[in-house]
Amino acid sequence: MDAARINLPSGKPTLAMSVYPVESVGQDAWTRSTEYTKASIEHYSEKWLEYPYPAAINVAGNEGGMEYPGIVFCNYESKAASLWGVTDHEFGHIWFPMIVGSNERLHAWMDEGFNTFINSLSSAAFNDGEYKDPERNMHRFSSVLVNNNLEPVYTSPDNLKERNLGILAYYKPGAGLSLLREHILGPERFDEAFKAYINRWAYKHPTPDDFYRTIENVVW
Ligand SMILES: [Zn+2]
């Protein structure tokens, strides 16, 4: 087990902690987990809204990754970019849906999709882009976005084919927000509106309409 101080905007003390078996030790593995945890929490706190809990704990387990308030579990064999990715993703869930409490059983895109989007900014920011997402080939990617065999993103997760969940809940809504940010509104306008959404709906239960209204209200 190791730990480090997380520096939050308000100065409130919070601790990043990692717990892992000896098999997971290594500079390209869990020895960097606390560094990842600290960076992830500090980025989201600075960019969107301050982390609310007294500790952020990353536990090495036998699942791919799973989020809970203040504690996440990531695979004990994950290494380097994949350990950063899963750690950053599971802690991103603190903001969606722990803080902004949208209903993940009905609107997976407001949970996994929004999280996937903020993960891309966090990965670009971490350690001068050490694990930045590769530039997406939008020409190739467009065939995924407009594939008529996929259910609508609005479909509740119970009602879509499980093999499509990765695209519909994570990838497509995440890419949609990136398109809106990078190519339509520009980062400054988009980030102001997205931050307003997070702050207005923190510790509440927004529906899709609440998201649209907030974004339109701030952007226009
Ligand atoms: Zn997730």
Q: How far is the CA of 73 from the centre of ligand 1 (A)?
A: 12
Domain span at 57: 2-97
Whether residues 34 and 128 fall in one domain: no
Q: What is the pTM of this model?
A: 0.96
Whether residues 214 and 115 fall in one domain: yes
pLDDT in tens, 155-186: 999 999 999 999 999 999 999 999 999 999 99
Q: How far is the CA of 88 from the centre of ligand 1 (A)?
A: 10
pLDDT at 145: 87
Residue 71 backbone phi and psi in degrees, to 5: -145, 135
Question: Can you list the positions of beta strands (E) in 62-189?
Answer: 65-68, 71-75
Whether residues 115 and 198 fall in one domain: yes
Q: How far is the CA of 108 from the centre of ligand 1 (A)?
A: 9
Positive/negative CA dihedral, 129, 130, 133, 135: positive
Q: How far is the CA of 135 from the centre of ligand 1 (A)?
A: 22
Q: How many domains does the chain have?
A: 2
Q: What is the Cα–Cα distance from 127 to 63, expressed in whole angstroms?
A: 26
| Residue 153 DSSP label | T
Last residue of a domain, one of 46, 67, 97: 97
Residues of the chain with pLDDT under 70: none
